[in-house]
Amino acid sequence: MDHVENDVTTYPAYLAGQWQPSESHETIAIHSPWQRDVIGHVQAVTQSEVDQSIQAAKNAQHEWATLSLGERGQYLNQWAQELAKDKESLATSIMTEVGKNYADAEKEVVRTIDLIRYTVQEALHMHGESVRGDGFPGGSKEKLGIIERVPLGVVLAISPFNYPVNLAASKIAPALMAGNGVIFKPATQGSISGIKMIQALDRTGIPSGILSLITGRGSEIGDYLTEHPGINMISFTGSTRTGKHLSQKSIMIPLVLELGGKDPAIVCQDADLDLTVKNIISGAFSYSGQRCTAVKRVLVDDQVADQLVAKLQKAVDALSVGSPKNNRMIVPLIDNKSADFVQGLIDDAMDKGATLVTGNQRKENLLAPTLLDHVTEDMDIAWVEPFGPVLPIIRVHSVNQAIQLANKSNFGLQASVFTQDIDKALEIAGAIEVGTVQVNGRPERGPDNFPFLGVKSSGMGTQGVHNSLLSMSREKLTVMNLK
Ligand code: NAP
Ligand code: G3H
């Protein structure tokens, strides 16, 4: 199936149930962000192959939707089983391709297996409802409405580089369980891991054509996919820039967008500082800050700021830095361009008077974890998502000022509040414009049975297993006119 030359594999695309090279005869080289060498090539799929794949998904979807939930669930449970067999090799692939440390890469695979199994269970337990017409003024009891959920058709699933397996499966599994066909477009840097997870799905004997895997640069094939009349729903996770572009291109198509963030950690005077530091450190720096839900700014009360900064500095200086293979927390960023971007934000802040507490060293795309104090509103780092290991600290005089700064951001994914006063926690949580507020904990997406959403420039619509099943299906009403 895979073509190996000089130890570097050229991976086929998975089009309409067939593993095959693209008719374009063009491939894209994938470099490891930390080993730096080429680790494989993926196909640059053509527009006519996209057409054929979408048509195949449409054809296969009709029969797929007639299977019982239990029958569809069997394929997915077997997929989870196949992924479990491949756990080590898939984790190694994630580590090699996107530079996530091995322990976290393995956690991503395990979380994905759990998510697929949970999605099957959740779908099995969802049910329609019936309603009598007499609930409405003048309505009649003789009208009985039967409300069921039906599939949308073909779902386009577009995933980002930082969770190449989990954020792909969190779209594919609910789409399939809801009875849809799927066109899966992985992030180019992440597509080898995507291919491996689909090889596992293919081994289940899932009907041919129900899912196709389209590799190719988003900048080249993305608009064609998004605007394709055969696509009935788009589930996208990635940057706000691409998400906004998609929302302009897709017309009258249900769209779920999970985008960037600038999650604040609000630290009140009465916070338990040791607990706060533990959560801020793991929130800001795991996977070098390449998480949408990373803590991306600290808004700390003046009264405890010196104490907090001293504790954070100690913790940051103790962080492990280096190779993903050695399970370091701080690992090389996805590419040099991303490292240049983060460096630019650090330089801008320091030029404008921020205090460097620790960090600001760099070897190519490996950046030391960096703490900046006395960050002010005129600095880009106060507002922009770095997606790297840098944490700005903004000192505030009051809870109100913290709320005002939290809400001044264009982003609205999550926020953390650290306080021992439950009333204050609830007051702040109620005032912050985000999808989720974490009280005395770091921002994070899981557990995956929770709804997950961003507001403002952080997204549109809701993920989480239950909500994904809802967004990938629609209501269908049949009215029985009795008597
Ligand atoms: P990205 O550059 O926006 O890419 C995301 C996906 O969109 C990739 O598959 C990309 O393909 C594709 N794409 C690019 N241009 C496209 C187009 N014109 N039409 C259709 N698809 C297109 O994001 P990323 O760098 O992979 O991920 C990092 C960003 O994602 C961060 O901002 C992070 O906060 C956000 N994120 C958000 C969440 C969340 O749930 N809120 C989760 C994870 C990440 P190519 O790779 O081929 O360009
Ligand atoms: O990168 C964005 C992911 O949705 C974050 O997921 O909070 O589980 O790391 P996580």
Q: What is the pLDDT of residues 126-181, one digit of tens each?
A: 999 999 999 999 999 999 999 999 999 999 999 999 999 999 999 999 999 999 99
- Closest CA to ligand 1's atom 48: 218
Task: Please state whether beta strands 366-367 and 459-460 pair in parallel, antiparallel, or not at all (unpaired).
Answer: unpaired
Starting from the CA of residue 189, give the closest ligand: 1
CA of 188 to the centre of ligand 1 (A): 10
Indicate which atom in ligand 1 lies nearest the CA of residue 163: 43
- CA-CA distance, 463 to 364, in Å (whole number)? 35
CA distance 257 to 277: 31
Residue 369 has a CB neighbour count (10 Å cut-off) of 26
The closest of 307, 177, 174, 160 to 243, measured between CA atoms, is 160
Kindly give the number of the ligand 2 atom that is closest to the alpha carbon of 167: 4
Selecting among 258, 364, 385, 444, the annotated active-site residue is 258
Domains located in the chain, CATH noted: 3-259+460-478 (3.40.605.10), 264-447 (3.40.309.10)
Q: Would you give the distance in Å from CA 314 to the centre of its chain? A: 31
Would the pTM count as exceeding 0.95? yes
Determine whether 44 is exposed, middle or buried from the number of CB atoms within 10 Å of its CB (0-12, 13-18, 19+): buried
How high is the pLDDT of residue 322? Answer: 97
Please write the tens of the pLDDT for every residue from 372-407. Answer: 999 999 999 999 999 999 999 999 999 999 999 999
- Sign of CA pseudo-dihedral 381, 382, 384, 385: positive
Ligand that lies nearest to the alpha carbon of residue 157, given by its number in the listed order: 1
311-326 mean pLDDT? 98
Q: What is the pLDDT of residues 221-231, one digit of tens each?
A: 999 999 999 99
In which band, very low, low, confident or very high, does the pLDDT at 483 lie, cut at 50, 70 and 90?
Answer: confident
Residue nearest (by alpha carbon) to ligand 1 atom 19: 222
CA of 248 from ligand 2 middle (Å) equals 25
- 123 Cα: distance to centroid of ligand 1 (angstroms): 27
Whole-number Å distance between alpha carbons of 197 and 191: 10
Query: Whole-angstrom distance between the N-terminal and C-terminal Cα of the chain?
Result: 61
- CB of 444 within 6 A of ligand 2: the answer is yes
Please confirm, yes or no, whether 88 is among the known catalytic residues: no
Q: Pick the closest to residue 345 from 321, 328, 324, 362 (CA basis).
A: 362
**Residue nearest to ligand 2 atom 7, measured at CA:** 444
